[in-house]
Structure formats: C-alpha cells, structure tokens
Chains A and B, each alone.
Chain A
Amino acid sequence: MAEQPCVDLSKTEAILGSYPHEEPSLIQVLQDVHRAYNYLPCDVLVRVAEVLEVPLAKVFSVSTFYKAFSLEPQGDTIIKVCTGTACHIRGAGQLVEELERKLGIGAGETTEDLKFTVKTVNCVGACAMAPVMIVGEKYWGGAKPARMSRYLAEGGSDEN
C-alpha cells in the first residue's frame, strides 16, 4: 500500500510544503488533501504521517473521526439530502427514492462513474425551505422529485 502509490502524490507534497511540519498542522493538511482528491487516499495518509511526524494511528483516528472526511473515493458532485425533522415531514424520503431511481445509488453511495455521491444529512438549518437538497454548492429549497433532473444538471461540481 505505502510502496505503490496509486494516486498522484505531488499534490500532497505541495500541500505539505505550505504548512509547518508538526502535529498541529494535521487537520489543516487533511482538509486541503480532501479538497484536492475529494477523499483521503491511504497512501496520502501514510505520507502525511511521515512528514508531520504524527503516528499513523493518530492520523487514521482523526481521519475517521470527522464526518467531513471520507476514506473512500467520492463523486465529483456531492448531493446532500436533508432528512432532518422538517425535511423528513415535507418529503425528503421521496427525494432520496428519486435519486435512487435516477442514479441507481442509495445514501452513502457513489455512482460507478464517480460523478455523484449521495449523502443524507440532518438539518442544514434551513427548515423554512424544507425539503432541502444541496447539489454541489447549490441549495435547492422546496425540492421536488419531479425536478430532479434539473437539480442534477445545474448543481455543478463540488468543491467540498
């Protein structure tokens, strides 16, 4: 795993170059790495541990603790369907079902072409607009299953 990087490590080196090589940089570095690769590849984590001189177990611990980090490759566009109380009542379930029909994936899954990842989240703080769906950076309030194609087309890719 560590010997054969299957991802391009030059992005990691550039990120590591812009932070002091010490433990307090860890989360910042992981956030930048996540932005660059859209997930945290394991050989990148090994390299980060090495350079920051943080035990690999600690790096893995932090990487698995935060929901914002994914250890699996994710789609270019991340779709978040709010399934908080308000959105649930106003039909978030149908949105998830429609996505399943359209993309063939359920919550927490990624399409095979790595275009989309669907996630459910609990209340994004916009209950008045329920049900809320976020496609990439774009928020859709009062979302309707019938308009799903439009949401997917206009969502744009995600700088997550």
Chain B
Amino acid sequence: MPTLKVNGRKVTVAEDVYLLEACRAAGVEVPTLCNFDGLEPWGGCRLCVVDMSLAKWDDDWFKMVTACNHPVEEGMTVITDSERVLATRRVVLDLLLARCPETPLIQRLAREHGIEETSYELNPEPTDCILCGLCTRVCDHIGVSAIASTDRGWGREIAPPFNEPPPDCIGCLACAEICPTDHIKFTTSNSCRTIWGREFEMLRDPKTGEAVITKAQAEHFAARSGVPMTYFETSDRSKRLEVAKTVERLRVVKS
C-alpha cells in the first residue's frame, strides 16, 4: 500500500485509488465539480488540480495534475494549496462564473476563491449547466444513455437526441439528482412524472397508493435484475409497515 505526503501529512492508501482519495484520507479538502463517488472520474472541470511530485524527481519539481483521476504512487508528494494551484482554480471558477453568472453553487465557490465578479465577458445567455458530464455519465452507468452532449464549442449542451423527448429515457431522475446545479428540471405527482419533455406513468404502491417510481424505470430494472416488478412498487412506508408487523409477530412469539 503506497504512502504519500499530502500537504506535509503522511497517509497510506490502497493501491488502486486516485489522488483525491489520498487527499481526503489526509483530511485535506480539494474542491471538485465533475467527480462523483461510484462513477469513473472524468477530469473535465479541472477544479481539483493539485501539485504533485514523484519520489524520483528533484525535490522542487512539481507537476500540476487533476486529483480526481491521477493514480497514487509510492512516495508521492502532493501539495493542494500552492500559489499556482490556487491561481489555476481561480481561472476555472472565473470562467465558470462568466458562463453561469446566476448559478448559486458557482457564485459560492468563486467567492470562496476570492472572486466576486468574473473578469471575462458575461455569457449573454446565462445557463446553470457547467457541462460537468455527470448527468450523461450516470445515465450511461445505469445502461440507459438517453441524453448526451451535443454540438461543440460555444454551442455544446446536454440534450436528448434531436432535442425531442428521449425515447430511451426511463424517467428515473438520476440525471436531475446528480446535477450539481439543479439545471435539469422535472415534476413528479402521484400519477405522473415529467422530465426532458416526456411524461411517465408512476407505479403506485397497491396498499398505500403512493407513487414509487415510474413504470418504465421498474420495467428497466426488473428486466436487467430479474427482480419481480412487485418489488419496485412497494413504497418505503409500505416496507416499514411490513417490518412493524413482523416485529409485532416476533414479540408475540417471544412472550
């Protein structure tokens, strides 16, 4: 197991982790925007940059790398708050603030890095999407791939095919939940959910009548897992009621 030094603190971590985890193990916060535990790191936002030096390099030789996707190595030295690291993060946030001037998360991160106003030209069409790719990656991860990044450069955005209601979407909300800026809008009622311009029928708990998940989502997971559909329509409240009943029965047996 490799041992590294993060901001002077020694930490030992597992073989196959990335620098970000070593930093966390050392109790050092590194800001991230496109990283999510459980998804492969992507290295897209560049906010997590750190200075890194290998044991065999000259003592004062450092390279800037993204912590989220750089593998750990024995004897590495990591510095997360050097002047150039902080300056780089400021550029990233300055640019993001120009793109998303009205987005609270970006405003807050920028402020924490000493930026009140962007020094770049403001985006004439403010958006909340920072193009972190989390939504499309989680959608791929669950085997749906209903949305993707479209176009390029200035025009790049996250969209369903042909900008129409996506045929492959199952209405699971994974994209909306993972979006760090709440850019993806949806509505859920007891009978219907809407997202990406599509409407989904909700599956209701037969006992309590509560909406649990969309029918399309239950079908998707039932088909992949072999778990029966009825499993998915049971609401949490229903499950708790079931458990309570079981506990009752246990008590009866005991006494």
Is A42 interfacial (CB 8 A cutoff)? yes
Q: B145, B147, B148, B160 — which one has the most chain A CB atoms within 10 A of its CB?
A: B148
Contacting residues of chain B (155-175) with chain A, CB-CB under 8 angstroms: 159-162, 164, 166-168
A51-63 vs B, CB cutoff 8 Å, 1 = contact: the mask equals: 0000111111100
Q: Are B166 and A57 in contact (CB under 8 A)?
A: yes
Task: Give the distance to chain A from B161, nearest Cβ to Cβ, in Å.
Answer: 4
Interface size class of A (residues with CB under 8 A): 10 to 19
Q: A45 to B145: give the CA distance in the assembly, Å.
A: 16
State whether B152 touches A60 (Cβ < 8 A).
no
Cβ of A80 to closest chain B Cβ, rounded Å? 19
Report whether B146 and A65 are in contact in the complex, using a CB–CB cutoff of 8 Å.
no
Chain B residues whose C-beta falls within 8 Å of the C-beta of A60 in the assembled complex: 148, 150, 159, 161-162
Q: Does A61 contact B162, Cβ atoms closer than 8 Å?
A: no
CB distance from B234 to the nearest CB of A (A): 30
Docked-complex contact A64 and B151, CB < 8 angstroms: yes
Size band of the interface chain B makes with A: 10 to 19
Known: A42-B162, A56-B161. A61 touches B168 (CB 8 A): no
Find chain A residues with CB under 8 A from B160 CB.
57
Q: Which residue of A lies closest to B149 (CB)?
A: A61
* Partner pick for A64 among B136, B146, B150, B168, CB 8 A cutoff: B150
The smallest beta-carbon distance between B220 and chain A, in angstroms, is: 13
In the assembled complex, the CB of A114 is this many whole angstroms from the nearest CB of chain B, namely 21
Query: Secondary structure at chain A's binding surface: helix, strand, loop or mixed?
Result: helix
Considering the complex, give the chain B residue whose CB is closest to the CB of A54.
Answer: B145
Chain B hits for A61, CB < 8 A: 148-150
Give the interface SS of chain B, mostly helix, strand, loop or mixed.
loop
**Which of A53-91 touch B at CB < 8 Å?**
55-61, 64-65
Are B151's CB and A65's CB within 8 A? yes
A61 to B139, CA, bound (A): 14
Q: Please give, as numbers and ranges, the residues of chain A lying within 8 Å of B139 by CB-CB distance.
A: 57
Nearest CB in chain A: distance from B31 CB, A: 28
Query: Shortest CB–CB separation between residue B149 and chain A, in angstroms?
Result: 6
Cα separation A55 to B146 with both chains bound (whole Å): 7
CB distance from A70 to the nearest CB of B (A): 13
Q: In the docked arrangement, what's the CA distance between A27 and B235, Å?
A: 45
Q: Which 8 A-B pairs have the closest CB atoms?
A: A55-B145, A61-B148, A60-B161, A57-B148, A64-B150, A56-B161, A64-B151, A57-B161
Beyond A42-B162, A55-B146, 16 additional contacts (C-beta under 8 Å) are A1-B164, A2-B167, A55-B145, A56-B167, A57-B136, A57-B139, A57-B160, A57-B161, A57-B168, A58-B148, A59-B161, A60-B148, A60-B161, A61-B148, A61-B149, A65-B151
Q: Which residues on B are within 8 Å of A, measured CB to CB?
A: 136, 139, 144-152, 159-162, 164, 166-168
List 27 A-B pairs, Cβ < 8 Å: A1-B162, A1-B164, A42-B162, A55-B144, A55-B145, A55-B146, A55-B148, A55-B168, A56-B161, A56-B167, A57-B139, A57-B147, A57-B148, A57-B160, A57-B168, A58-B145, A58-B148, A59-B161, A60-B148, A60-B150, A60-B159, A61-B148, A61-B149, A61-B150, A64-B151, A64-B152, A65-B151
